[in-house]
Amino acid sequence: MKRLFFVLSLSGACLTATAQDSIASPQHQHALDSADIFYRHMQLNELTVTGVTGNTKLKHATGPITVVNAKDLRAIASTNIIDAISRQPGMDQLTTGCGISKPIIRGLGYNRVVVMSEGVRQEGQQWGDEHGVEVDGGSVHSVEILKGPASLMYGSDAMAGVVILHSRPILPEGELRGSFSSEYQTNNGLMGYSLNMGGNHHGLVWDGRWSGKRAHAYWNKFDGYVPGSQFKEMSGRAMLGLQKQWGHSRLIGTVFHQTPGIIEGGRDPQTGDLTHADDWRGHSYDKWLPYQQVRHYKLVWDNAINFSHGTLKAVVGYQQNRRQEYEEAHHHEHEEDEHEEDEHEEHEHEEHEHGGEDEPALDFKLHTVTYDLRYLTREFSGWKLSGGLQGMWQKSLNLGEEFLIPAYNLFDIGVYATASKQLRRWTLNGGVRLDHRHLHGEALEEDGVMRFTDFSRNFNGVTGSVGAVWNVNDHLNLRFNTARGFRAPNMSELGSNGAHEGALRYEIGNQQLDPEYSLQFDLGLDFTSRYVSAQLALFANLIDNYIFLRGEGRELDDRPVYSYTQGDARLLGFEAGVDVHPIHSLHFENIFSYVDARQPDQPEETKYLPYTPAPRWTSKIKWEILHHSHPTMGAHARHTHHAKGLSADNLYIAAGMDYYLKQSHVYSLDDTETETPGYVLVNLSAGTDLTWKNRKIAELCIVADNLLNEAYQSHLSRLKYADVNSVTGRQGVYNINIF
């Protein structure tokens, strides 16, 4: 089924000293909207990125980095922030229904990708297939994607890369700005909104945001409405701080509450239809058993003090993640029990029937404290140095009546030092890091049977990187980087023993797993000119002790059993892109991403790593019909053109295609995974800025999605392994019709 996506964004400002579209500070120049940059394809290398040590121009970064700006994020139909960036070069997503996405970078995901939000690493229950990233997409202004081992700067778990979610930059002095955005998607009736207000008065800075989103079950032509794919989401953010010449100090608090359904994938053996409750309605926005309640709270204290020779940064964060799962069978059990209890308990049952949620089957509560202390020198004689101390403390509790992983405690600490040197057209950098992680899993006895045993593990890692960039001329850059990554096994891999309803399997951990170590080589080329831009990024990644799930060919609790094992892995791949723009207003963009992930010296059925993204070719042609602020105009003309009344600016139309090739490189032993056929998704989009007296007051985007009405299954969708439709013979649940 085709889907239409509408976005309307309104903004306003009370200006006293600066223009509305100005940027608060140089470190956020990467967040400039593309429509406001002339010949942006020639200015990409001048963007400032923060994912490396300090603020660095993109042309001086030795590793591959992709930047997604605010305007591009707003013009994408998505159900969450990871979905919005999943079609960037080298990126993909693992999905479990609608609203839940996990980032995949160059074929690696889960705890191999660190997500940074509000300056700290986002810590929830990211080990689970059905556990998404608890961040409001409306609060994300721009995204940096670091591809390749980033353990040097981010420690364990950054083996595949880092996704950095930037909030809106601090406003300039004297500015007050408010905005409102809303979106609607036709397939699942998704309705979302976001309200924002911020300001800067004599260095006292503040920002507040409130967002909401809800969607009913999505529809596709093979499954009809998919029970359990509905979700609701509410979130808020508040920031208060000081921005002075000496540096800054900010206190940031966020709340996130999501109620996603759980797609079980069971089918009626006679009709082949997906099973659901008798009173279930696919177009309803209400929650239906089974479902989850996910709450995430975050408090961050971000500080920076400027000295004559450098800057001292200190960031401390506290996060609490609460994930509860409510199941139909569990609900009915309580229903039967309470009918036999006294009058007081009958009253409690009545409350439960009317939506009381005091009896979740699964109930995880995770406390996390992160700390990051670093010193960065200013450039002297071409040198820039930095050093730091990072780590975190975690305590995870099991508060429900069903269990997947043990309760545990974790302590993590790392120290590092880096150096970079500028030599005319060369930039050289490197660094080294030491990490230590202690993990203790608690014992649990259930009905006289030992569910989890008490155990402790210590993991140590030495990582580093060295790289170089040669700015051959103003148009051509060559990059080379070598990095060693490190990742300690997570508690799910070590101690799992339970059925994952959302992932449709029973998982068993392995306490003897060793940490993963990787060695990656990157070679890149960037070329920009007035008419052509091209990028090529080659990589080879060698991983010792790669941890993955494999099927055992048996069942427990009516679920197929998967257990964690490990072996050596080799990943080779590339991202290639070219943007042809014969005139400023016309762009023809093409991007191809490919990764080949194998276990050396293995037979055919086990030689490929499971859940490797399919090769993807993305193509788009975009025509910018109206652009009043043309670079050939003089400054006076740009400020007086259409100075009165309402007008449209930056009007564009675009046609795109995403071609996912067949993925036949699968880990087929015991039906761990199956091949996925190729498919093509076609879409159209259009957008414009609405201006009043040369000031942008609104932005409108419309996307018509999947115009060929293609029914498909992503290779990384866990739902493709749900029950077989006995009538059609098709296995699994098909995706929502998105790009």
SS3 604: helix
Note the pLDDT of residue 738.
55
The structure tokens listed for 570 are 């080799």
pLDDT grade for 256, boundaries at 50, 70 and 90: very high
The structure tokens listed for 199 are 């300001």
For residue 185, CA distances in Å to 76, 77, 190, 656, 704 come to: 11, 8, 5, 18, 10
Strand extents, DSSP E, 447-531: 449-452, 455-471, 476-487, 497-500, 505-508, 516-528
Q: What is the mean pLDDT of residues 590-600?
A: 96
| First-to-last C-alpha distance (Å) of the chain | 12
Note the pLDDT of residue 632.
40
For residue 130, CA distances in Å to 97, 99, 152, 262, 427 come to: 8, 10, 29, 8, 42
Given the DSSP bridges, would you call strands 532-556 and 559-580 parallel, antiparallel or unpaired?
antiparallel
Question: Given a cut of 70, is residue 6 above it in pLDDT?
Answer: no
Note the pLDDT of residue 410.
97
Which stretches within 503-643 are classed as H helix? Answer: 635-640
**Nearest 5°: CA angle at 421, between 303 and 163?**
50
**DSSP readout, 324-375?**
EEE-HHHHHHHHHHHTTS-HHHHHHHHHHHTT-----SEEEEEEEEEEEEEE
Portion of the chain with pLDDT greater than 90, in percent: 60
Given the DSSP bridges, would you call strands 695-705 and 231-244 parallel, antiparallel or unpaired?
unpaired
pLDDT tens per residue, range 300-333: 999 999 999 999 999 999 999 999 999 865 444 4
CB 113 within 8 Å of CB 104: yes
Q: Which of 145-149, 160-164, 647-651 has the lowest mean pLDDT?
A: 647-651
Question: Given a cut of 90, is residue 539 above it in pLDDT?
Answer: yes
For residue 581, CA distances in Å to 577, 619, 653 come to: 13, 14, 15
pLDDT tens per residue, range 15-59: 333 223 333 343 343 333 433 434 455 556 667 777 776 678 888
Note the pLDDT of residue 359.
84
Measured distance CA(658)–CA(711) in Å, rounded? 14
Measured distance CA(343)–CA(357) in Å, rounded? 20
**DSSP readout, 261-281?**
B-----B-TTT-PBP--TT--
474 by Cβ neighbours in 10 Å (0-12 / 13-18 / 19+) ranks as exposed
Note the pLDDT of residue 335.
44
Question: Given a cut of 60, is residue 344 above it in pLDDT?
Answer: no
Note the pLDDT of residue 42.
52
Q: Which residues of 257-275 are buried (b: 16+ CB within 10 A; e: fewer)?
A: bbbbbbbbbebeeeebebe
pLDDT tens per residue, range 428-448: 999 999 999 999 999 999 888
Note the pLDDT of residue 618.
96
Note the pLDDT of residue 37.
38
Note the pLDDT of residue 595.
97
Note the pLDDT of residue 644.
62
User: Of 404 and 340, which is predicted with more confidence?
Assistant: 404
Taking residue 632's Cβ as centre, other Cβ atoms within 10 Å add up to 7
Q: What is the mean pLDDT of residues 379-397?
A: 94
pLDDT tens per residue, range 350-365: 333 344 456 888 899 9
Note the pLDDT of residue 553.
83
What residues contact residue 674 under an 8 Å CB cut-off, 6+ apart?
666, 668, 720, 721, 731
Residue ranges of domains in the chain: 3-721
Peptide bond into 290 cis (omega under 30): yes
Q: What is the mean pLDDT of residues 690-709?
A: 86
CATH topology of domain 3-721: Maltoporin; Chain A (2.40.170)
Q: What is the mean pLDDT of residues 214-224?
A: 92
90 by Cβ neighbours in 10 Å (0-12 / 13-18 / 19+) ranks as buried
Which stretches within 452-558 are classed as H helix? Answer: 491-495
User: Positive or negative CA dihedral for 728, 730, 733, 734?
Assistant: negative
SS3 297: strand
16 by Cβ neighbours in 10 Å (0-12 / 13-18 / 19+) ranks as exposed
Question: Given a cut of 50, is residue 640 above it in pLDDT?
Answer: no
Average pLDDT score over the chain: 85
For residue 560, CA distances in Å to 230, 294, 402, 556, 615 come to: 25, 26, 18, 6, 28
**DSSP readout, 555-594?**
EETTEEEEEEEEEEEEEEEEEEEEEE-SSTTEEEEEEEEE
pLDDT tens per residue, range 490-534: 999 999 998 876 667 899 999 999 999 999 999 999 999 989 999
Note the pLDDT of residue 10.
64
Q: Which of 412-416, 621-625, 674-678 has the lowest mean pLDDT?
A: 621-625
Q: List residues bridging with 735 in a β-sheet.
A: none
Measured distance CA(673)–CA(713) in Å, rounded? 13
